[in-house]
Chains A and B, each alone.
Chain A
Amino acid sequence: MAVDEHRAPRTTESDDARRLVKARRPGFGIGLLKGMAVTLKHLFKHNTVIQYPDEKQDLSSRTRGVIALKEENCTVCMLCARECPDWCIYIDSHKETLAPKREGGRPRKRNILDRFAIDYALCMYCGICVEVCPYDALFWSREFEYAEYDIRELTHEKEKLSDWMASVLPPPALEEGAEYPGSPTRAPEVADGVAAPVKPVQAEASDAAAGTPERRGAQAAPLGTGGRPADAGAPKEAKPDVGPVPGRQAEAAPAPEGAEPAAAEAPPVQEEEQQAAPSQEQAPGPEPTAEDHAGPGGRTETASPEVLGIQMGAEPASPSPRESTETPSPEVLGIQMGGGPAPSPGAGEDAVGAPEEAETRTPQEGPDPEEVARLQETPGPNVEVPNEEPKPTALDPTEDPKEVYEAVLSDQLAKGSSPEVAEARAKVARVKAERGIARNPGVATKEDS
């Protein structure tokens, strides 16, 4: 019979071999009947076929259908067009200059979106554009029934993409107890935890504007110049940077140049600064402080700066809170560290502007330098302390480039390099010597030879 060749030796030991032996035994057609039982089972099962187009499938909320565009969010950064592996996004834009918001302000430049088209004949629905968009202007929709008779109709323009927004699902709900950004839930807790009575500071526009720009400028100055705390000098000490919110301070980077001289000088410069400051703000309003204080809790007093200070970077980056965080953070931190009293008024001599108060410090004053210094040495978990003395690449040249050139050239020729190679290497060494860049130890230097 035909089954002879299927008989395997039975003296095997390993598991696999055992199974193989078992599988090769003549089954007398039982396996066939088992197979028939399987198909018969399916005959009697309820059929799960979805008869499209009469019936449609229940699509999950994450279904990748068409990609919709929310025009107002698009800043024409071109990231989506760049990252698209298929190059199927076509974007055109132009820059326009708008009138300044305030009298004498700087004219604003805006990028206006002219054309935004996605060619769905090319699109492979990878979603990289949706992922990469930093402004949440692209969204997934579940629509997939947009086949056309003409392939040119598959390029959806701005208008059509905006129409698709109607089919975009709302974002999924956050889990139980999660915090929505800007929610008032945190403010009350924190405010309740504040031991010391908070002196409400009625920040006047002028004062606030006067205080804050310089604050911010001074604040930014030490960081803006990066590695020169020594250069910050006396005036800067009065407004030492507070570690906790470097991010926002970095945003004030445009300020330093203007702020530096302003900080060290008398109030007349402050007025300039004051004028310059609002132009840097992206948030609207001549009363930035007031609004800024209208932080999560909608409070307009110091409560929110404290809150913001405590949150330490968890705030959505609005430009002005940073100016006020500098002020309250030491206070707040002082409070955090056990409800300590207000710092001593020791830094009053350097503080430009208002005299300090015993218990709390107004936003117009600088933060207590002692406090700040102490805190800088022991930063908290969310604090970023900037690097000290980052080394610039340009050093003073210590070697004579010409001599270096000669030395390297002769050295290379002696080692047997071809003339072109030797010359090239010598030239490179000369350039490095000019710029003060340390060269490889293997290359001949003036000191070595």
Chain B
Amino acid sequence: MFDITLATWQILVIKIIVILTVVPVGALVGGYAEHKVMAHLQHRLGPMYPGGFHGWATTLADGIKFLYKEDIIPAAADRKVFSLAPAAIMVPIIMTYLVIPIDRALIVEDLDVGIFYLLAVGSLSTIGLLMAGWSSANKYALIGALRSAAQLIAYELPIVLAAVVVAMLAGSLSLIDIVETQNWPFAIWPPGIGFIAFLLFTVGAVAEMTRVPFDMPVAESEIITGPFTEYSGMRYIFAHMFAEMGHMVAFGGIGATLFLGGYQPIVPIPFLDFIPGVIWFSAKTMFMIFLFLWIRPTFSRVREDQLQKFAWKFLIPVGLALVLVTGAWVLYV
């Protein structure tokens, strides 16, 4: 199209700008979607006033409101760690956006080790949570932090195993290759393996984000906001809201990429090719996000021990078995 050659640094700047725009906007839109979709699932309306038309500016208004709140750090808290914790949570999430392909040529960085990078970086936010809870000088924050750490470690594995299955089937770790090798019908082929892997990934993602029904660490009605109890103002938004919404969109994108065919059309009819891949990708991401939102008002909270049992005694053995089966499939089919 354009005959421009950009220097490396210029490209870098553009990429940074893109990421830093997409992530907050995605989080805002995701947050608004959460309000409204959850509300309608519960037969109510959700926010209607901010911004006028069905409250589209709800999350924006929330963000602005939190900007002018007082920044309170408890006297007994570890100030340095307390201040750094939100960053430690947010940055890894932002980093996961780097490798998600929106279209064939639209990816911030097409790493050869895409999946590996994704999983490695995604696990880093656990440390941020621990930092937040431990530095708060609050018993309940500590309990929440420890619970979340245990939960995230436990549910990291089903995600990893599902991703491993996908990588084995694709024969590559690069996300674009993974998207390319996927054929219709998505998330079902190979028979059984793909679907179970998809389920493993979804459940693991929901738990990874400490969303209902796995929100014991946060457990609103019980230990207030768990690790984020002592946080207020913008720090709280970064540590909790932003992180969760950003995570939701990221996982939506990852799920779409790994299991739903990424930017490919839903059905391989040539007629549908004229719709750009971005639209398909967005649609699939939105479907994944809808799944996460759908689960939230439907199920009740899982108890901590039930949560752990479910992960270690059910999901991980299933995942391991799945890897075994996939290996056999790849070798002999």
Residues of A within 8 A of B (CB): 1-2, 32, 35-36, 38-40, 42-43, 45, 47-49, 51
Contact = CB atoms under 8 A, between A and B. Distances in A.
A56 to B, nearest CB: 16
Contact of A2 (B37, B42, B45, B314): B314
B40 A47 contact: yes
Contact of A36 (B42, B44, B45, B298): B298
Contacts of A49: 44-45
Interface string B36-75: 0100111111001000000000000000000000000000
A367 B86 CA distance: 103
Interface in B294-311: 294-295, 297-299, 309-310
A37 to B, nearest CB: 9
Contacts of A38: 298
Nearest to B43: A42
Contact of A47 (B37, B45, B309): B45
A42 B42 contact: yes
B299 A32 contact: yes
A54 B310 CA distance: 48
A45 B299 contact: no
Contacts of B294: 36, 39-40
Interface residues of B, number: 17
A51 B299 contact: no
A40 B41 contact: yes
A35 B212 CA distance: 14
A39 B314 contact: no
Interface string B121-141: 000000000000000000000
Nearest to B37: A43
B80 interface: no
A47 B44 contact: yes
Nearest to A50: B45
Contacts of B309: 2
A36 B295 CA distance: 7
A43 B41 contact: yes
Interface in B72-103: none
Given A2-B310, A36-B294, A51 B48 contact: yes
Identify the 7 closest CB pairs spanning chains A and B, nearest first.
A42-B43, A39-B41, A49-B45, A39-B298, A35-B298, A43-B41, A43-B40
Given A35-B299, A39-B294, A39-B297, A1 B314 contact: yes
Interface string B188-203: 0000000000000000
Nearest to B48: A51
A39 B295 CA distance: 9
B41 A42 contact: yes
Contacts of A36: 294-295, 298
Nearest to B306: A2
Given A1-B313, A2-B309, A2-B313, A48 B48 contact: no
A47 B37 CA distance: 13
Interface in B13-41: 37, 40-41
B45 A51 contact: yes
Contacts of B44: 47, 49
A47 B42 CA distance: 10
Contacts of A51: 45, 48
Contacts of B295: 36
6 contacts: A32-B299, A39-B294, A45-B43, A48-B43, A49-B45, A51-B48
Contacts of A48: 43
B45 A39 contact: no
A42 B40 contact: yes
B164 to A, nearest CB: 23
A48 B45 CA distance: 9
Contacts of A43: 37, 40-41
Given A35-B298, A45-B43, 19 more contacts: A1-B314, A2-B309, A2-B310, A2-B313, A2-B314, A32-B299, A35-B299, A36-B294, A39-B41, A40-B41, A40-B294, A42-B40, A42-B42, A42-B43, A43-B37, A43-B41, A48-B43, A49-B44, A51-B48
